[in-house]
Amino acid sequence: MLTYHKDIYTNTRPLWHPPGARGIYGGAVIAQCLSAAQLTVPAHFVVHSMHCYFVLAGDATIPVMYYVEHVREGRSFATRTVQARQRGKCIFTTTMSFVREGSGGKRTVQHAVLLPTDVVVSDLKREKQEVEKEGDEGGSPFISHRMEVLNKNSEKHHEKRTRQWIKCRGRISEEGGHQAHLSALAYMSDSYFIGTVSRIHDLWRFGSPSTSTSHDEETKQRDEHIKKIKILEGYGDDLNNSQGRPEIGMMVSLDHTIYFHEPKRFRADEWMFTEMASPWSGDGRGLVLQHMFAADGTLIATCVQEVSSNIALQKIV
């Protein structure tokens, strides 16, 4: 990131725009807001929570300006608000809280959700080469291996789980310190999140089959990316929804919250496991809860997101 002047930053490279998406990938803005805020707090302060709102779709062709506001400077906690702006308009806003390391004292209570017992890390290691081929996300800086929906046939949708293994591509430089891994985690926390509600209800969320006759490279890449997603999500036998699954309209993320639990007990360039569930949906919105684990079973983050669909469910004719 580049500083224009005190507490104002911008990206030096274009942000990722996933093929077929309305705008830039939300996790990219989340991560850069965190990076900007981290530059304004003491080195021994670490983020423990961030609460975000998506306001407008971002444009990958122009820079994003990040305005950091110092809300609180305490001995144990510091608070920052960051607005991401383009063309003078706010596209994203977040408030973050940082805590001084070790401020909780030596005598504290501890507990954490455990890595599910049916998750076998060695299976992923044996499949590593195939996973990295399979995990191409249309030019994204991370690799993911998505798994079949757990409890897929249950009539209780809140008991279903979507799962994936994920890590960033390459190796994160030691120069970035643990802050770089936290920003990478924030980036990846938005992966596979928004479609959880539609997946557990087995809804079609890819729109009508493309009628485009364009053969340019960008269109080919987009169509191939969407095809790969359909196959990964179990629609390889029905790529154009000839079975007439109920269709859900374009989904958008409304907000995104991350609670960071163990900021120095993971590396974002090593495999992490995520599991997502939806405790509720209704009135055109759905709530999703995500747990993120290091491969050794350490719970490293808990995330919450609410999503919205602006088109009612309908049958495709």
Task: Measure Cα distances from 1 to 12, 13, 61, 93, 96 in Å.
Answer: 6, 9, 16, 18, 18
Which of 262, 263, 256 has its CA nearest to residue 290? 256
pLDDT of residue 208: 62
Domains of the chain: 1-104 (3.10.129.10), 118-317 (3.10.129.10)
For 252-300, the pLDDT digits (tens) are 899 999 999 999 999 999 999 999 999 999 988 999 999 999 999 999 9
Contact 164, 146 (CB under 8 A): yes
Give me the chain's average pLDDT, please.
Answer: 87
Radius of gyration of the chain (CA): 20
Distance between CA atoms of 54 and 35, rounded to whole angstroms? Answer: 17
Contact 251, 309 (CB under 8 A): yes
For 48-76, the pLDDT digits (tens) are 999 999 999 999 999 999 999 999 999 99
pLDDT of residue 125: 59
Task: Give 120's Cβ-side CA count (13 Å radius).
Answer: 5
Confidence of residue 179 (pLDDT cuts 50, 70, 90): very high
pLDDT of residue 196: 92
Confidence of residue 102 (pLDDT cuts 50, 70, 90): confident
pLDDT of residue 220: 75
Confidence of residue 317 (pLDDT cuts 50, 70, 90): very low
pLDDT of residue 123: 65
Helix axes 26-38, 177-188, angle to 10 degrees: 160
What are phi and psi for residue 175, nearest 5 degrees? -65, -30
